[in-house]
């Protein structure tokens, strides 16, 4: 746990350095969420692109009982990496002052992430298969929708803080 706190402290110092010019325009918590969420989202999109184009080679992914289309399989693969990173960022950097117990936070985070998965799945299917947008731009559009849901649900539900 000390290592995780060491990493979080280092990331927080880096974010604080970049926050200074913006402190008059945006609350620190929102900036932290944007910075960590932006980094994690960038990683997610890069991983998605790599999985879709190079790992899956734009081919269906057959697990025996179900066949995933390549854009959906790439989403699940990239998400499996960015999920724990996102929880770490939210718990230790963006919303460290939550009064909720860790297990409650994890349960609520899991619930909001599950809804985010549904949002990603539905909008990826819609943008790629019904509207005909290329998969990577579709992922980017879907990410914007999921981020808006995620920010508000994490701030007001998952990592809720007592009112002062």
| Tens digits of residue pLDDT in 15-28 | 999 999 999 999 99
Residue at 56 is within a domain:
no
**Are the C-beta atoms of residues 31 and 16 closer than 8 Å to each other?**
no
Token pair 């914007």 in the structure block, residue: 144
Residue at 49 is within a domain:
no
| Cα–Cα distance for residue pair 77/44, rounded to 1 Å | 9
Residue at 80 is within a domain:
yes
Residue at 55 is within a domain:
no
Phi, psi of 100 (to 5 degrees): -70, 150
3-state secondary structure of 67: strand
Q: What is the pTM of this model?
A: 0.78
pLDDT of residue 143: 85
Q: Give the domain range for residue 95.
A: 2-40+75-158
pLDDT of residue 164: 43
Q: Give percent above pLDDT 90 in the chain.
A: 59
pLDDT of residue 16: 92
Tally of structural domains, the chain: 1
Cβ count near 54 (within 10 Å): 9
Residue at 94 is within a domain:
yes
Count of helices and strands (H, E) across the chain = 5, 2
Residue at 83 is within a domain:
yes
pLDDT tops 50 at residue 93: yes
| Cα–Cα distance for residue pair 86/65, rounded to 1 Å | 30
Residue at 36 is within a domain:
yes
Residue at 70 is within a domain:
no
């Amino acid at each position: 746990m000390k290592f995780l706190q060491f990493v979080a402290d280092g990331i927080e110092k880096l974010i604080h350095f970049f926050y200074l010019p913006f402190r008059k325009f945006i609350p620190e918590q929102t900036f932290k969420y944007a910075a960590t969420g932006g980094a994690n989202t960038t990683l997610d999109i890069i991983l998605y692109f790599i999985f879709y184009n190079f790992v899956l080679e734009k081919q269906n992914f057959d697990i025996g009982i179900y066949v995933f289309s390549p854009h959906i399989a790439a989403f699940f693969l990239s998400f499996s990496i960015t999920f724990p990173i996102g929880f770490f960022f939210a718990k230790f950097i963006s919303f460290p002052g939550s009064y909720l117990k860790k297990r409650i936070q994890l349960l609520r985070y899991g619930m909001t992430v599950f809804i985010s998965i549904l949002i990603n799945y539905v909008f990826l299917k819609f943008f790629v298969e019904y509207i005909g947008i290329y998969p990577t731009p579709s992922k980017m559009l879907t990410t914007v929708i999921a981020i808006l849901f995620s920010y508000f649900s994490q701030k007001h539900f998952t990592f809720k803080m007592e009112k002062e």
